[in-house]
Amino acid sequence: GLVRAYSQATQDVIQKSKIVLKQEGYEATIEIEYKDFEKLKYFCKVNEINIKEVEYLENIMAKLEMKKESQVLFMQ
């Protein structure tokens, strides 16, 4: 009885779970002027770079997440 109950509970958890894809990547923080922020957003969108966090200070500080392949584009 106890084994059957644990088996059912395990099956229920598996059915309700989500698959999460993890990829090796990089995180970078950059400082840019306000006038360049739209260009950065476009560049990130085209190159599948995620803008994770933005701080609006004297300049804009943006924290970016990118796939390993995107790092080469970003560093150019």
Which pLDDT belongs to residue 55? Answer: 97
| φ, ψ of residue 29 in degrees (nearest 5) | -115, 130
Order of strands across the sheet that contains 25-32: 25-32, 60-67, 50-56
Kindly give the confidence (pLDDT) of every residue in the chain, 76 residues in length, as a single tens digit, with 9 standing for 90 and above: 777 777 888 888 888 888 877 777 889 999 999 999 999 999 999 988 999 999 999 999 999 999 877 766 666 6
Q: What is the pLDDT of residue 23?
A: 73
pTM of model > 0.75: no
HSE on the CB side for 28, CA within 13 Å?
A: 17
